[in-house]
Structure formats: structure tokens, C-alpha cells
Structure 1
């Protein structure tokens, strides 16, 4: 716990600086790769890419970003019961670095005697290893931030705010560095930069681990111990080797498996996961009030899927629009398309404090909207952003040929979507902690993370859905107008349901 002598990082425990920088580099690694993923997959063979069709690349992106929100549920459980947060972070950091280096290796193999099939195997293994490593790292570093403070420590919210700024600093910087290297030097250097960033974060965590005291040590370790023993490091390396080996085994075995068997496995795992969550909720929820509040979480989780199915166009259709439809030349210098991925993080850094002050001011005048209404605000801003995007796309493609449009169009869209995110994302996380039954906070957070996963996958399929509707209806359906209309309808539904959902929250704001 925090002590006065540890007040050395903006008045917070010194351990916060350790976690802040470690998370900054982890987010640098993740968002750098994320900014390049679709661009790399759709790049030509000649440039070192896989020349994949856009819709197929979107699906790969959607599966990856969706599973990134699923594996932390498993990683959190392993940390709580077996590993502790500290060992989990080392396992996750080293594993993700290996995943990034495998992505770089798959790009480096361009122009060698390696077959395309072998390159793809290395690439998909890298993605799988990244997904697994994220499961160990992501939930546990946030948990350690909370453990730096007593529950009644007034600095706790401020500590998480500082930590959140670290996340967005990493997300802002990574496309500028990894995107530049990947797009304009060679793809492998972009992925390599992401891998080096992950290693730096892990090394920093190791060097500065003494600032954390006994926080995050394995569950059965005596509380006075503040460093991992040699046998702990053998265990960490064994987990890393096991994860890497398991992912390669799954990928190689999956390709040799009959499609009926692989499909059955997916359904069994999905149904089993849903049944487990459902049984946990039934066992942990008692009384009308608790059931009512759980119902609000489940209803808003469905609306959360719709929000992220639009918001996460950033890495798919927006990325392609930046590459193919946006004027990126300044004199003789071309702005990398991936740099537009930094805009959201920059706006969060600039405007998150503004929104925090806004809610406080509105509360003072008794005008602060309830949680469902804030969700409606978020969906409305998302819809407005897609109206702007649809107009920009129409201007770019009118007349049957591509006309490059100003980068200010995408900038405006990202600004509106960031405002929507600030109305919905942090509010949703806070809502889950407030409304969940005491025994089910982690389980309901898992349900909430599941809605992010579903939203990310649906996002990857929105263009395919618009094309299928276009074929069925015999008329042109632009994906951006489709999402704009869908989001506006959801916003109206939320406004209508808001009084009912507010009553179901039973006094929780």
C-alpha cells in the first residue's frame, strides 16, 4: 500500500511510474501493429504484403481485435489463483514481444525462398501469440495500479487518470513511429519497432519492480518478499515456451483438421463459455434489486456492441480511406496513412479532462445525464461522425473516379468519435463496477469485455454486410451511411429506454 515516503510521482506512489511506463510501451506495441495490420495484409506481393482482399483482411483484423478482449478473462483468473500479477506481466510482455518479432519475420521472408504458405503460418502464429500474451498482461497491470492505494485513498481516481494518459501516449506515438517505418521503409521494421517497444516495457518493469513492494507477487508467496526467485523465472520462461508451442501446434493442427471438426470445436467453446458465465451470474445474483441492476449491464452490453461495431472502423475502412481517398501530400512529403490512427489518442489526451470537468459541472446544476443517456450521447456522436464520413466518401468517389479529399474530413470524424467514446467507454466501465453484485464484479467485467470483443468482430464485417444488403435490395448501400443510420436508431432507442433503465438501476447513478 501507499506510504508518505513513496509520494514521488506527481504526489502518487513511485510504483505508479513503473506501471505507467510499462503500459505506455505495451500500448505502443499494440497500436503500432494494429495501425499496420490491414495495410500490410492488403499490400501487394511486390511490396512485401500478402495482397489479401479487403474483406478477408477486415475479418482477420476483427478476429484479432475481438480475441484481444477475450483472453484477459482467462489471464486474470490465472493471475488470481496461481501466478500473481507480476509473473503474469512478465509472461505477457515476453510473449507479445515474440509475437511481434514473428510478424516482422514473416515480412522479412519476402523475396526469400520461403513459400507464401510458410510466411502466412509464421504471421498467424505471431497474431495468436500476441493474443495470448495480451491475456496475461492487460488485466493484471491495471489491477496492480489499484493495489497501490488503499480503497479510501482519495488519490486512487487520480492515479488511474495518470495511468490512462500513459495508455493514450503510447497509442498516439506508436503509429507515428511504427507506421512510418512499416509503410515508408519496410513492413518488417514497423513490426520490429512494435516488438522492441514491448521489450522496453518489460525491461522497465523488471528494473523498476522494487518500487512495487510486495504488490503482485504470487498468491502463496510470503508477503514480505518483494522480488521473484530464480524458480519463479524458470516458471515464467516455461509459460512463455508453452504458449508459443501451443499456438504453433494449434495453427498447424487447425489447418490439417476437417472443417466440420474445427467448426464444432468453435461452437463447443463458445457455448461452454456462455453457459459458464450464465451459471456464474445465476449463482452470484440474489434479490430483485441485484437482478435488476445486472439486467441493466446486460442491456447496455448489447448497445455497447453496436457502438464498437462503428467505432472500430478506424482500423479497417478508415485505414483504407486514409490510404486511397485522402490527400496526404505536403509538398513532396507524404503523410503515412497509419498516422491517422494517432488522432483518436491525441483527442483523448486533450479532451478527457474537459469531459471530466463537464460531468462535474452538470452534476452541480443537477443536469448530469444518467448512464443510459450518456450512452445515447455517445451513439449520437458516433452517428454524426459517420454522416461526415459518408459525405467525405461521396465527394471522393463521385463521377466514377477517386478524387482525394482533405485530411480534415478524417480528423473531424475522429474528433466526433472520440467525444462519443468519452461519453460511453469510461462511463460503461464505471457502471459495471457500480451495478455488479459484490461477488460478480470480475465476472460482469468479463461480460462487458465480451461485448467489446463482439463489437470488434462485427466492425470487421460491416462492409460485407452492406454489400450483401446491396445485392439483396438491388440498390447501392454505402457502409458509412448504413452505420450512421444504425447508430442514430440505437441512440433514439436508448433515449426511449433511459427512464426504464434508470429505474432498474435502483438509485445508482
Structure 2
């Protein structure tokens, strides 16, 4: 049977002749590309905007960046739950995209800064998990041989948007005016939404509940109502913070952390907790507990990696802006351009690493997943050794050449390729079947914690005698070495039956 005779987005059962990707994959590719363009365009400018345009102190700008990027990793747990129970993935994605578009446009107006960030955080929660999940729904079950290729195409869309964003939105923001850069991010999100709705027929039934049809005019009220609800929630939270914030800020740091973890954790659990009837009451056996504990242990180590890696949009963005000689003839390279190096290297080298791991796994030099991630942490630490050398020159009053940051971003991306895809694959393979979704959510919570730490780490180290980049080098390398030392018992626990 030819795929041309099937409904759009459906898969044929004759996998021997079904090698073409479903047409719906290009819809999600371009939707995700434009969404990532908007996200990374705004991210490339945020700290620079706070410091250079709004007069934020460096520490406060980095802290706000850490809170924003940390919450971005928390809200998908809630948005995914709303989609599963009430909205369906397709409508949730449209609502999320609408709210994010409003947030990006609001960033162009200085008085709306916090409202804009809140809209972006909440909108991302509705958008991000549901577009990712829709990719899987384009295929005919878990054994469809096209599935891995489909997610690779999806991943390329993510990185294409991330590559273009600093070059376009960053240039507009730094050369023409900040509102031009943030406006460009909003236009990118609008384009993503329009092409998603326009090309819906190619998605088939992907992202729809059994009783739902494609998103149409009849859903305008639903979309506007939920979008208005998101706006009201963010506005109300900001008003409440005016009263709660001063009291909370006066508490000891430990108390602040405990309260934040308790409130956020309780709110998330009340929304995403599974129905007991759907998951059953069968307890985990000893081997399953071993696998769960092993994943959590690795997750704790991974926080060390992302705490360093996420300096890219914070302290390293400021280093590029303030301490780097960016002149090429009479043209000054925008500092935001450096953030395009990471996605460019990923697109170029991801296939190389995939082939490398396959070859190693078939040889006597095979490494377990935890050892690969440990190596990624060490490589990240080596990048910070180079960064510490550049900072030392900058501290002596010298503006360093652009090649220093280029080398650091290249090394850090090598570390990411060793750790990130391997970690996601490990969780999906090792987690007990009844806990895969929960543990994947917990895995992303480690990124939330790391993003917050990335924003406040420089301030935390003040008065400690440790400079930021040497500390991050030692932190990442030390964590990698320790994980390597305990990798054998962890691997044994992960493969226990």
C-alpha cells in the first residue's frame, strides 16, 4: 500500500515499503523551528537588555535570568497534564503559542517586563511538551522504523531555530533597538502559529483527543478564554508578589529554598498526580527501585553539568559584550552571535557522535551511559579552564579575541553531545514502564534547578575566595570523576531484572 492513499499523518503497516516520513513531520519541524527562534532570540538578548537598557545590577540581572530559565523547565509538567486531561495536545500547543507570542511582543515595552516573562513561562508550559509528544503520534506504534528519524528531523528544527535566532533577533536588538529584537521574536512565534494552523491537515489525528476535530473557528473562544486565563494568572501572581515578596526576601536563604520547593512541588503534584485507577497499586520490586534510585543519583550529578553549561546566556553573554574584542575591520560583531555556535556545532556533529557511540557500543571499548555522561562533565570542565584563562586576561584590562569564546562554546557543545541525548535515552530505557513519564519529568526538573543555580552562582561565590570559572571547572570535572568512579555499580543496578 502506498502512503499516498492513507490519511495525512497515518502510517502504513507495510513497513518494508513505508520508508518516507509522514507529511506531518514538516509541520512540527517548522513550528518548532519558529518557536525556538523566538525563545533563543529573546534569551540571547535578555541579560544584555537588563544590564545595558534597564540598568539592572549584574547580580540581579543574572538572578532574574536564572529564575526565568528555571521556571521554563517546570511549567511543561503542568501544561502537559492540562493537555492530557482537558485540552488535547494540539489545542494546548495553540494556546501556548498564543500566550508566548503576546509575551514576546510585551517584551518590547519596558514597563511590561515581568508580565512578559510570566507569559513566556506559562505559554511555554502549554506549548513545549505537546509539540514534542505530537511527533510520536505521527507514527504507527513504538516499532515504526521511521520514528527515530522523525525525532532527528524534529531535533534539527530545534537547532536551526536556535542558530538563526541570535543572528537575526540578536542583531536587530543590538544594532537597531531592543524592541526590534524582541519584536522579531514575537513575529517568529506568530509565523510558527500560522503555519501550524494552516498545515493542520498534514497532521492527521496527531495531538487530538478521540472526540476532537482539527482546530478551527469554533475553537476561537476556547483559545482566547484559556489565553486570557493565563494572562489573569500571571497578572494576579505579580500583584500578590508585591505583598509576599518583601517578606519572603527577608527569610534566610535555606528557608526560601525550602518554601519554594514545597510550594512549587505541591502545586505541580496536585495537577499532574496520576489517577490511582490508571496506574494500579502494584509496588516497585527491588530491581525497579534500584533503577529508580540510579536515575535520581545520575540526575543529581547532571545538575553540575547544566549549572555550568547555562552560563552561556548569563555570565558568558556579558563577557562577550564587555570583555571581548569583536571588531572585524569597521564592523562590530554583535555579542549575541556567539550563542549561535552551540546549535551550529550540534547540527554538524550530532550524526558523528551517534555513529561514534554505535561503533563503540559494538566494540570492546564500549562505555555505559553513566560513563559517557561523566566524560561529558569532564569535557565541560575543560571548557571552563579555557574560560578562566580568558577571564584572567580580561581582568588585567585586555579585551580578548573572539576565538577564546568560540573555543569554549565548541568544547561545551562536545560535552553536551556526550551527556544530553545519552541521558534522555537512559531514562526512557531504564525507568520502570509505569514510571517513565514521571521520571522523565523529574529528569527535566534537574535542568530547572541547574538553570536557577546558573543565574545565582556568581553571587553565591562572592566572598568565598573562589572565582566563578575556576570553580565551575573544578565542580564539573570533580562531578565527572566521581560519577565515573561509581558508574559500575550504577550500571549494574540499571540493568538489574
TM-score by length of 2: 0.91
CA deviation map 1:147-194 (0-9, x unaligned): 111211111101100110000000000000010011111000000000
Distance 1:417 1:52, change over 3 A: same
1:236 to 220, 223, 232: 223
Q: Which runs of 5+ in 2 are unaligned?
A: 12-17, 250-255
Q: Does 1:194 align with 2:175?
A: no
Q: Does 1:256 align with 2:243?
A: yes
Corresponding residue of 1:506: 495
Map 1:461-480; keep pairs closer than 5 Å: 461-470=456-465, 477-480=466-469
Instruction: Judge conservation of contact 2:41–2:170 (CA < 8 Å) in 1.
Output: yes
Separation in 2, partners of 1:250, 1:56: 20
Corresponding residue of 1:110: none
Residue range with higher mean Cα deviation, 283-292 or 2-11:
2-11
Map 1:265-280; keep pairs closer than 5 Å: 266=260, 268-272=262-266
Instruction: Judge conservation of contact 2:170–2:336 (CA < 8 Å) in 1.
Output: yes
Instruction: Judge conservation of contact 2:294–2:490 (CA < 8 Å) in 1.
Output: yes
1:162 to 124, 145, 153: 153
Residue range with higher mean Cα deviation, 199-208 or 239-248:
239-248
Shift of 1:20: 0.1
Shift of 1:436: 1.6
Shift of 1:378: 0.6
Instruction: Judge conservation of contact 1:96–1:129 (CA < 8 Å) in 2.
Output: yes
What SS is found at the alignment partner of 2:264? Answer: helix
1:442 to 437, 441, 457: 437
Separation in 2, partners of 1:11, 1:312: 37
Distance 1:478 1:359, change over 3 A: same
Map 1:406-445; keep pairs closer than 5 Å: 406-445=401-440
RMSD over aligned CA atoms reads 2.4
Separation in 1, partners of 2:372, 2:320: 30
Residue range with higher mean Cα deviation, 430-439 or 71-80:
430-439
Instruction: Judge conservation of contact 2:376–2:416 (CA < 8 Å) in 1.
Output: yes
Shift of 1:282: 12
Map 1:77-96; keep pairs closer than 5 Å: 77-96=81-100
Separation in 1, partners of 2:475, 2:435: 32
1:99 to 100, 103, 110: 103
Instruction: Judge conservation of contact 2:66–2:454 (CA < 8 Å) in 1.
Output: yes
Shift of 1:265: 6.9
Separation in 2, partners of 1:74, 1:246: 14
1:460 to 446, 449, 455: 455
Distance 1:274 1:211, change over 3 A: closer
Distance 1:274 1:191, change over 3 A: closer
Instruction: Judge conservation of contact 1:82–1:219 (CA < 8 Å) in 2.
Output: no
Separation in 2, partners of 1:357, 1:441: 26
CA deviation map 1:380-411 (0-9, x unaligned): 1011000010011112222xxx2111111111
Separation in 2, partners of 1:22, 1:233: 19
Separation in 2, partners of 1:453, 1:413: 23
Q: Which runs of 5+ in 1 are unaligned?
A: 44-48, 107-118, 471-476
Corresponding residue of 1:135: 125
What SS is found at the alignment partner of 2:325? Answer: coil
Instruction: Judge conservation of contact 1:149–1:156 (CA < 8 Å) in 2.
Output: yes
What SS is found at the alignment partner of 2:41? Answer: helix
TM-score by length of 1: 0.89
Distance 1:53 1:276, change over 3 A: same
Q: Does 1:74 align with 2:63?
A: no
Distance 1:242 1:171, change over 3 A: same
Aligned length: 475
1:493 to 482, 487, 490: 482
